[in-house]
Amino acid sequence: MLKICVMGLGYIGLPSASIFATNGFRVVGVDVDAKIIDVLRKGELHINEPGLKTVVCAALQSGNMTVQQEPEEADVFIIAVPTPIKEDKSADLSYVVHATESILPVLRKGNLVVLESTCPPRTTEDILSLILQKSGYKIGEEIFLAHCPERVLPGNILHEFVNNDRIIGGISSSSSCKAKEIYEKVVQGKLVLTDATSAEMAKLMENTFRDVNIALANEVCKIAYDLNLDALEILKLANMHPRVHLHQPGPGVGGHCLAVDPWFVVEKSNNAKLIRLSREINDGMPEFVVGLVRNMLLNRERPKVTVLGVTYKGNVDDVRESPATKVIRKMKQENIEVCIYDPYVKNYEFALANLEEAFLASDLVLVLADHNEFKYLAADELGPLMRTKQVFDARNCLHHDKWKVAGFTVKALGKNKKPV
């Protein structure tokens, strides 16, 4: 039975480890955070992902998977640790470097090392390869090294891990083939072989494509306010063209992919001008939203805003790089009281409230995440709790007519024309 050591038990590492384990591999899951190890050993999860708890518990109870803080000898090492950005927008590769260095004492000839973490181009070739050379083995011949970027959507990770096509980029053809032999045991999608740097760049382009197109929609939204137009109507009309598919505007772009990955390209090339501008447009949307909120709170003394949802997307608990956090910080800087309700989030930078507390004496309901639960809120029951019945739907996810019937003034991002 092949043994796999998975470094990092977060949104990517934990599903990867448990899926390999339930497919007959012996898996050692490693995370430096003792709290995560303790939670997993109790049969609980530190992240929220549909179906994941069942798979993790099955992997642990079968004995195929164990979890601990230190790596040990294995046939395959999969590195799936975070790659955040620093304040200067450059990649923070400290987690990748530490994880790679930590496996040096347990590396053996013939081992395969796979980097799943998203990273700037040439990370595998220029950083991991050099670290692994310290083992004394020839990289690409005695130690095999590949980059196999994750391609999953939070909220549907288990299905997409198995069914999506995967890119495998080795630093040598033998490295690519070794990695393919492992992934083909669990992945039903196509496995496409390339070199490591091309695999890194392809992954970044997948997310950059979406980020750039969202930036176009957000810019259309801003222009529509300038011209007193309905941005959503414009986008709808444009999308009637058979070769046009414009995205929808929003309060910003979050998550560990779209809000981060394009910066890895900007870091490596001065020619990434469109990519940089798109990132700046999307990063500027939280402040734009706060400006619209400010206009709805004119003449309110000590205004209070009810924030519905702080995750970067609906129906998940992931708050990484969420634009909602930036919106809240900005409102607090402007002395706007903020009360937050999110049924998915347990731990957050700011205090969370229950639904009634969040609405009590509020002047505005601000929707920043499109959780399904918000569509079914009883506007007629929550309205009387408020001081001023207003809604600003920055995600365009509510049933607006229902709120209007309950006496609310309703505005939505890009949907309402500027008053003449």
Residue with tokens 């083939």: 177
Pairing mode, strands 166-170 and 144-147 = antiparallel
Residue with tokens 């999860």: 45
Q: Does residue 261 contact residue 84 with C-beta atoms inside 8 Å?
A: no
Integer Cα distance of 5 and 70 in angstroms: 10
Q: Where do the H-state alpha helices sit in 188-230? A: 196-226
Of 119, 148, 178, 203, which residue is the catalytic one? 203
Q: Give 340's DSSP letter.
A: E
Q: Give 417's DSSP letter.
A: P
Residue 402 C-alpha from the chain's centroid? 31
Integer Cα distance of 7 and 17 in angstroms: 9
Of 148, 257, 339, 397, which residue is the catalytic one? 257
Kind plus residue range of the DSSP H or E element containing 77: strand 76-79
CA torsion sign for 93, 16, 65, 135 is negative
Q: Does residue 205 contact residue 167 with C-beta atoms inside 8 Å?
A: no
The residues near 113 (Cβ < 8 Å, ≥ 6 apart) are 76, 77, 79, 100, 103, 107, 128, 132, 143, 144, 145, 146
| 257 in catalytic set | yes
Q: Does residue 13 contact residue 29 with C-beta atoms inside 8 Å?
A: yes
The DSSP bridge partners found for residue 308 are 341, 367
List strands edge to edge, sheet with 144-147. Answer: 65-68, 26-30, 3-7, 76-79, 112-115, 144-147, 166-170, 191-195
Integer Cα distance of 228 and 419 in angstroms: 8
What would the two tokens of residue 303 be? 């205004």
Catalytic residues: 203, 257
